Structure 1
Amino acid sequence: MTRTEESLKKRVVDQLYWDDRVDASDISVEVHGSTVKLSGNVPSYRAREDAVLDAWTIDGVSAVENEIEVEFPTTYKVPTDDTVQTKIDNRLLWNTYIDSTDVHTKVDAGFVQLEGTVDAYWKKIRAKQLASDVDGVIKIQNELAVVPTESIVDKAIAEDITSALDRNLNVDVDDVDVRVKNGEVTLTGTVPSWSAYRAAINAAEFTAGVIEIEDSLKIE
């Protein structure tokens, strides 16, 4: 491991131990070049997601491989699948932006499947986030289909995404190439940081008419 890799690893480890939401005692960190690999286990699915975000926030990280598994503490009383499903269904029901009648959940040994439809891509992402906060979740498979309530032509979608990028101070619009076909967005290009990457993804996620996103962006 080079000095640069050692320095990057130390900063990632320090970030994980700093974050009170993440129990980093059983997380292993490997660094190859600018790629960070996380493995080991954490006590909740939410902590698994937070650990990945912690790694991404470190300057110099260009990719994160997440092999962390959820392993409940021995003293933890694992909720039944029915309990987990009910809690997820309630969180979806209480969310004012998601029509929960079109979202169907299945839970098997902590493995959650989200099926059905939503009318915007960001709602698909939000549904998964709501499920990830529920105790007892080990893994989530998001199979929600995006079915917009109105038809928006690809050119208009691309223009809206590009305009959003141009307004954002965290990303240079010239660094991101946007292509849209039948509502499916492909983002390519190279951005300098996680904040720029996240800004580009958000620009696509929050645009009306988007049904899927293919992320081919690189961080360098």
Structure 2
Amino acid sequence: MSKTQEQIKKDVVDTLYWDARVDASNIKVSMEDENSVKLEGTVPSYSARSSAVRDAWMVSDVNFVKNEIDVEYPPELKLTDEDIKSNIESKLLWSSSIDSSKIDVSVTGGIITIEGAVDSYWKKLHAENLASEVAGVLSIDNKITVVPTEDFLDKTVAEDIVEAMDRNFNINVNKVNVKVKNGVITLTGTVSSWTEYRAAMNCAENTPGVIDIKDKIKIEY
């Protein structure tokens, strides 16, 4: 049985307060329509903002999250753009998965732009995740290009993604459609939960030969 709007709102609020990564004291939760959640307010870090959105999506019967949370760091945190840039570059340098010499980082007023090239799509996401963990970050514009070190046939990439989904017990592979053109993946169809959605996305994100992903999957409870 579907939840009421009040039940959904309560579950989102409870999940935010449960998550130790999120200071939910300044987050307002409201319902825009039957299954659409709106998050407003402030959090003390960029990573907390990302976690808050994921928390809302994890609640059953939520099929859309509108994120209007702002990042406001404590006044005592005094970091210059150069400090932030240096800290991100150090994170990338110490990562065994990223060739940091091929990544450029620029920072303007806490807004991060990362550019360059990696050989796998998951590495593009990993670089952004590393940057998101650094204090002082307000937002991230990920302009990294994926350049595979070998050629992949679109048909092979599509088959690999579908087979990965078929092996995953969280996914009904018959309800997710995969199309590949020049390494760009388009995912369509419907899934029944955030868990199934993330499982499907992970299958695409971690498949060799993927250059970019167009996510058109819908969550329908």
The equivalent of 2:50 in structure 1 is 49
How many angstroms apart in 2 are the aligned matches of 1:78 and 1:132?
A: 17
Q: Secondary structure at the match of 2:4?
A: helix
How many angstroms apart in 1 are the aligned matches of 2:203 and 2:104?
A: 27
Q: TM-score, normalised by structure 2?
A: 0.96
The equivalent of 1:117 in structure 2 is 117
Q: CA deviation at 1:150?
A: 0.6
The equivalent of 2:187 in structure 1 is 187
Q: CA deviation at 1:136?
A: 0.6
Please state if 1:214 is matched with 2:200. no
Q: CA deviation at 1:77?
A: 2.1
Q: Secondary structure at the match of 1:127?
A: helix
The equivalent of 1:143 in structure 2 is 143
How many angstroms apart in 1 are the aligned matches of 2:125 and 2:5?
A: 32
Q: CA deviation at 1:64?
A: 1.1
Q: Secondary structure at the match of 1:14?
A: helix
Q: CA deviation at 1:157?
A: 0.2
- Residue by residue over 1:124-149, the C-alpha shift from the partner in whole angstroms, topping out at 9 and shown as x without a partner, is 10000000000011111101011111
How many angstroms apart in 2 are the aligned matches of 1:78 and 1:33?
A: 42
Query: Aligned runs of 1:1-220 on 2, under 5 Å?
Result: 4-31=4-31, 32-74=33-75, 76-220=76-220
Q: Secondary structure at the match of 1:96?
A: coil
Q: Secondary structure at the match of 1:98?
A: coil
- Structure 1 unaligned blocks of 5 or more: none
**What is the root-mean-square deviation of aligned Cα atoms in Å?**
0.9
How many angstroms apart in 2 are the aligned matches of 1:100 and 1:180?
A: 29
Q: Aligned residue pairs: how many?
A: 217
Q: CA deviation at 1:106?
A: 0.2
Q: CA deviation at 1:109?
A: 1.0
Q: Secondary structure at the match of 2:137?
A: coil
- Structure 2 unaligned blocks of 5 or more: none
Q: AA paired with 2:42? A: N
Q: CA deviation at 1:17?
A: 0.9
User: Which stretch of the first structure deviates more once superposed, 181-190 or 65-74?
Assistant: 65-74
How many angstroms apart in 1 are the aligned matches of 2:80 and 2:91?
A: 17
Q: CA deviation at 1:73?
A: 2.2
Q: AA paired with 2:6? A: E
Q: AA paired with 1:91? A: K
Percent identity between the two aligned chains: 53
Q: AA paired with 1:33? A: E
